[in-house]
Amino acid sequence: MAAKGLQGDAANRYETHMPYGLYISADGAQAQTDRLDVIANNLANVETLGFKRELSILQSRYAEAAQQGVATPGSGSLDDLGGGVRLQGTTTDFSTAAVKQTGSPTDMAIQGEGFFLVRKGDDTYLTRAGNFRISGSGELLTQQGYPVLSDSRTPITIRPDGGPWKTTAEGSILQNGVAQNLALVKPASLGDLASVGENLFRPLAEAQALPSAERNVASGCVELSGVQPTTELIDMLETSRLIEANVNMIKTQDEMLSGLVSRVLKA
């Protein structure tokens, strides 16, 4: 009976903790898979002008017993071995990328901080992508067809019959003696920006106009993607190995669990 009781205790301990190890490994594999998706999206936008790379935020978790209030975090007990990691979310790297000269008058690059302001539907969004185009009616548009706004929040219009035009270093569109100032803005904090796709960002708080001294636009240039392929490929390799390591841990723990169950059944 004593031997049987010991086996029962061992089985109960294994049932309590070994499957938990499986869950931790599975969560680790899932977190790294989600991180891999972020890296893959960065690589897919390596040629997207003005694109800002996303960074995964991995966060360690308390053990399940600590989260349930059964164990005290940091106690070092069997119930406080750690709870693995999870993907807390992503953050955008707004570092300024290199600028390429194109010679096209509709291409513009902001030198330093700031964003262009564009309108999509009834809302306004921020973007660093300055590879604009002109519609048949003369509106300055993004590549997706969204109007580029002036500092008066109206669409920039370049008259097809209005003669030559140019973009000044201060971010003004000059045509036939008439100036339209590009709406160049910056958020109170870069953390206030939420990516909504299409190289657009939604400010969570009202963005402020750039001071005159900070308005600096290079005409005939575009800001390149902020993705460094070598860095992303290294991160991809690291992430793939971590996924593999977690999967191997799942296999090992599954084999140990099967072996223990077999021994208990034979007893």
pLDDT digits (tens, 9 = 90+) for 12-65: 443 444 577 787 888 889 999 999 999 999 999 999 999 999 999 987 777 766
> Strand ranges (DSSP E) for 81-190?
85-92, 99-101, 108-110, 115-120, 123-127, 133-134, 140-141, 165-167, 172-175, 178-181, 184-186
Going by DSSP bridges, is the β-strand pair 123-127/115-120 parallel, antiparallel, or unpaired? antiparallel
Range of the domain at 55: 2-94+227-266
pLDDT at 112: 93
11 and 79 housed in the same domain: yes
Q: What is the pTM of this model?
A: 0.80
Tokens at 143, concatenated: 């590549």
**Helix-helix angle 2-44:229-266, to 10 degrees:** 160
At residue 243, the pLDDT reads 93
Do 119 and 194 lie in one domain? The reply is: yes
In the numeric block, which tokens belong to residue 40? 């893959």
- Whether residue 221 has pLDDT greater than 90: yes
On whether both 43 and 125 belong to a single domain, the answer is: no
Structure confidence at residue 259 as a pLDDT band (50, 70, 90)? confident
The residue type found at 103 is G
Residue 241 is encoded by which pair of tokens? 């190995």
Better-predicted residue by pLDDT, 225 or 246: 225
217/170 same-domain check: yes
Whether 11 shows a pLDDT value over 70: the answer reads: no
Residue 48 φ then ψ, to 5°: -80, 115
Residues 6 or more apart whose CB falls under 8 angstroms from that of 232 comprise: 39, 42, 43, 46, 53
Indicate whether 137 and 43 sit together in one domain.
Answer: no
Last residue of a domain, which of 206, 223, 240?
223
Query: Do 120 and 84 belong together in one domain?
Result: no
pLDDT of residue 78: 64
In a shared domain, residues 111 and 213: yes
Are residues 256 and 208 both part of a single domain? no
Nearest 5°: phi and psi at 164?
-60, 155
Sheet of 208-209: strand order equals: 193-197, 200-203, 123-127, 115-120, 184-186, 208-209
Residue 3 pLDDT class (50, 70, 90 cuts): very low
Contacts 24+ apart (CB under 8 A), 101-104: 101/220, 101/221, 102/220, 102/221, 102/222, 103/220, 104/220
Same domain, yes or no: 72 and 107: no
114 and 216 in a single domain? The answer is yes
Regarding whether 168 and 123 lie in a shared domain, the answer is yes
Number of domains in the chain: 2
150: its two tokens: 């002036």
Contact between 201 and 193 under an 8 Å Cβ cutoff? The reply is yes
Do 115 and 189 share a domain, yes or no?
A: yes
Backbone angles phi, psi at 69, to 5 degrees: 85, 10
Rg of the chain over Cα atoms, rounded to whole angstroms, equals 28
